[in-house]
Amino acid sequence: MSEEMRSMDLEELTTALTEMGESAFRGRQVFTWLHRGVRSFDEMSDVSKALREKLAARYRLGGPTAVRKQVSREDGTIKYLWELYDGNCIETVLMRYRHGNTVCVSTQAGCRMGCAFCASTLGGKVRDLTPGEILEQVIFTRLDSGVPVSNIVLMGIGEPMDNLDNVLKFLELVNHPLGLNIGMRHISLSTCGVLPGIRRLGELGLQLTLSVSLHAPDSETRSRIMPVNRAYDVDELFKACHDYFKKTGRRISFEYAMIDGVNDADWQADLIVKKLRGMPGHVNLIPLNDVAESPLKPSRRTRKFQQRLESQGVTATVRRSLGGDIDASCGQLRRKAMERKECEV
């Protein structure tokens, strides 16, 4: 299989081109075209025909095709189901917020983390996405929708920390001044709590926002709904979060899907308060999306839970749910397409 060109950084491109006998500035030229979203080398109009042919013989350059696009009538959220070159399908969501338009990207085809409430993990992980495939979701969502993009969240299908090398390279690419030039402060990365990844990210000290999918502050409950907790216990997770804050000075955001009778008790709110002490955390309460395959149901105590956190000094917000009319969350669209055999697993 030929090498995928949109995964290469500027240095790699420049080296490859100079090895082909080209001058170094060609690297910048080609890099710029790639990030503008060309789908064929022939679109690189200021690159000679001879070089375009040489590149086409050596590299793969295509991009995903939209097999489904759904636009929410309620709030303008757009959801794409993209088919990759090998038949795999992934989802990308564009959300319109007052503070800027946000693209939610997938980092893997499927997921192997096994969270009980999540549709993305039902068929397991198929493969990691390359840096270029993560980047293309932003590039082609922007091109297709015509909507400018200012923020990115790595909260689509997959566990970013389970594909961290590719995710880090994606961050470098999307941040590049010759590319989309999206600043780290406009990017959030969400993890279910894969500790080595959190530690590695902490060492790098990037200015992005780390989100941790907490969903329960006690070991017993968390292990029940999130198998990752059996490998990396919630107490170690909190410790890693405190260390991350000390190293980076960045406030962590904790995601908490409210599940009826499972994680919505007062004592669990109190335990969150206790375990966050010493760190300015922010808890984002998410109304559980009802996944047909799961017996878990949305909580009716969300406001009470929020008040209990807030009254003890922990900032807590309730996430506004967007795109409810278009299955715009958590792997549900891919799941349905797989069932209809519209795309491969």
Which residues in this chain contact ligand SAH in the complex, by CB under 6 A? 113, 115, 117-118, 155, 159, 190-192, 213, 255, 257, 286, 288-289, 291, 330
User: Which of residues 134 and 288 has its CB atom nearest to ligand SAH in the complex?
Assistant: 288
Catalytically annotated residue among 89, 118, 241, 330? 330
CA distances from 38 to 33, 61, 140 (A): 6, 8, 10
| Alpha-carbon span 52 to 30, nearest angstrom | 10
The residues with which 83 forms a beta bridge, in sequence order, are 65, 89
Length of the chain: 345
DSSP string, 131-183: HHHHHHHHHHHHHHH-----EEEE-SSS-GGGGHHHHHHHHHHHT-TTTT---
Smallest distance, ligand SAH to C-beta of residue 120, A = 7
Show the tokens assigned to 244.
């991350």
Q: Residues near 119 by Cβ (< 8 Å), separated by ≥ 6?
A: 291, 293, 330, 331, 332, 334, 335
Q: What is the C-alpha to C-alpha distance for residues 290 and 121, in angstroms, rounded to an integer? A: 15
DSSP category for residue 102: E
- Closer by beta carbon to ligand SAH, 192 or else 201: 192
Q: Is 91 one of the catalytic residues?
A: yes
Least distance to ligand SAH, CB of residue 154, Å: 7
Least gap, CB of 168 to ligand SAH (angstroms): 16
| DSSP one-letter code for 259 | B
Which H/E stretch holds residue 274? helix 266-276
Q: Which of 107, 137, 138 lies closest to 125 in space, CA to CA?
A: 107
Looking at 83, 91, 136, 159, which residue is catalytic? 91
Residue number, 160 or 179, with CB nearest to ligand SAH: 160
- CB contact at 8 A, 209 and 102: no
Q: Give 81 or 291: the residue with its C-beta nearer to ligand SAH.
A: 291
Query: In whole angstroms, how close is the CB of 15 to ligand SAH at the nearest point?
Result: 33
> Are 193 and 226 within 8 A, CB to CB?
yes
Cβ partners under 8 Å of residue 289, min gap 6: 257, 321, 329, 330, 332
In whole angstroms, the minimum distance from the beta carbon of 155 to ligand SAH comes to 4
Minimum CB distance to ligand SAH smaller for 159 or for 327: 159
For residue 203, which of 238, 151, 244, 172 has the smallest C-alpha distance? 244
Q: Which is nearer to ligand SAH, 61 or 167 (CB)?
A: 167
3 carries an active-site annotation:
no
In the complex, the smallest distance separating the C-beta of residue 47 from ligand SAH, rounded to whole angstroms, is: 38
The amino acid occupying position 48 is S
Rounded to a whole number of angstroms, the minimum distance from the CB of residue 315 to ligand SAH is: 17
Pick between residue 37 and residue 156 the one whose CB is nearest to ligand SAH.
Answer: 156
Please name which of 230, 335, 316 lies closest in space to residue 272, comparing C-alpha atoms: 316
Residue where the block lists tokens 């198998």: 227
Which residues are tagged catalytic?
91, 330
